[in-house]
Chain A
Amino acid sequence: MRELTDGSTAIVRGAVDAGCDFFAGYPITPASQILTAMSREMPRVGGVAIQGEDEISSIGMCIGATMAGARAMTATSGPGISLYSENIGMAIIGEVPLVIIDVQRLGPSTGGATTAAQGDVQFVRWGTGGGYPIIALAPSSVPECYTLTMKAFDLAERFRCPVFVLTDKELNLTATTVDINAYERIPVRPRARIAPGESAGTPYAYHPPDAVGPIATYGDEAPVRFTGSTHDERAFITKDPQTVGALNEHLVAKIENHQDEIDMVVADIDPGASTALLSYGITAGSMREAVRIARAGGRPVSALTIQSLWPVPERAILALLQNHGRVVVGELNHGQYRREVERLAAKGTEVVGVHRNDGTLITPQDFLEVLS
Chain B
Amino acid sequence: MSVTTITTLGTYRNDSPYPFCPGCGHKSILDHLNEALVELQVDPMKTVIVTDIGCAGLSDQYFATSAFHGLHGRSITYATGIKLAQPDLTVIVVMGDGGTGIGGTHLLNAARRNIGVTVLVFNNFNYGMTGGQHSATTPEGAVTTTTPGGNPERPLDICGSVGVNGAGFVWRGTSFDGDLTQRICEAITSNSFALLDIWELCTAYFVKSNQFTRRALESTLETLGFQTGVLYRDGRQEYSRALRETARGPDSVPVGPTPIEQKWSASLERPFMIELAGSAGGRVRSAARIGALAAIQSGLYAAQRDDYPVTVKTGHSLAKLLLADRPIDYAGSDRPDVLVVLTADGLAKVRSRAVGLSGDSIILTVPEFADIESGAEVQVVDPSSLSDRFPKADLGLLALAVVVRRTGVFPIDALRAAAAEGPFGESNAAAVEAGIQLASL
Contacts and interface: CB of A to CB of B under 8 A. Distances in A.
A158 interface: no
B66 A225 contact: yes
Contacts of A54: 105
Contacts of A361: 330, 332
Contacts of A252: none
B243 A221 contact: no
Contacts, number: 225
A50 B81 CA distance: 10
Nearest to B252: A44
B214 interface: no
B414 interface: no
Contact of A61 (B50, B80, B307, B329): B80
Contacts of B80: 57, 60-61, 64
B303 A174 contact: yes
B70 A90 contact: yes
A176 B260 contact: no
A179 interface: yes
Nearest to A224: B66
B264 to A, nearest CB: 13
Interface in B59-97: 60-61, 64-71, 74, 76-82, 84-86, 88-89
A5 B257 contact: yes
Nearest to A9: B255
A49 B247 contact: yes
A108 B137 CA distance: 36
A141 B301 CA distance: 14
Contact of B302 (A4, A42, A223): A4
Nearest to B308: A114
Contacts of B261: 1
Contacts of A257: none
A40 B249 contact: yes
B289 interface: yes
Contact of A65 (B82, B247, B253, B255): B82
Identify the interface centre among A40, A173, A180: most chain B CB within 10 Å of its CB.
Answer: A40
A65 B85 contact: yes
B258 interface: yes
B106 interface: yes
Contacts of B78: 60-61, 63-64, 67
B44 to A, nearest CB: 5
B304 A175 contact: yes
Identify the interface centre among B65, B85, B329: most chain A CB within 10 Å of its CB.
Answer: B85
A24 B80 CA distance: 11
A170 interface: yes
B22 interface: no
B109 interface: yes
Given A3-B257, A40-B249, A53-B105, A226 B68 contact: yes
B45 A222 contact: yes
A50 B84 contact: yes
A86 B80 CA distance: 18
A63 B81 contact: yes
Interface string A142-186: 000000000000000000000000000010011111111011000
A136 interface: no
A177 B45 contact: no
B296 A4 contact: yes
Identify the interface centre among A62, A141, A175: most chain B CB within 10 Å of its CB.
Answer: A175
Interface residues of B, number: 71
A236 interface: yes
A120 interface: no
Interface in A195-230: 218-229
Contacts of A66: 81, 85
Contacts of B252: 40, 43-44
A246 B64 CA distance: 26
B259 interface: yes
B6 interface: no
A87 B296 CA distance: 44
Given A53-B106, A61-B84, A64-B78, A223 B332 contact: no
B109 to A, nearest CB: 4
A4 B293 contact: yes
B45 A2 contact: no
Contacts of A170: 305, 331-332
B310 A114 contact: yes
Contact of A177 (B68, B84, B303): B303
A225 B48 CA distance: 9
Given A12-B255, A29-B310, A41-B255, A363 B333 contact: yes
Contact of B289 (A1, A90, A175): A175
A263 interface: no
Shortest Cβ-Cβ A-B pairs, 9 listed: A64-B81, A60-B77, A361-B332, A61-B81, A64-B78, A68-B85, A1-B259, A65-B81, A65-B85
11 contacts: A40-B249, A43-B252, A57-B76, A64-B81, A90-B71, A174-B304, A175-B304, A218-B48, A224-B67, A226-B69, A237-B58
Given A141-B329, A176-B331, A286-B330, 9 more contacts: A2-B296, A4-B292, A39-B247, A43-B248, A67-B68, A170-B331, A218-B82, A228-B71, A289-B329
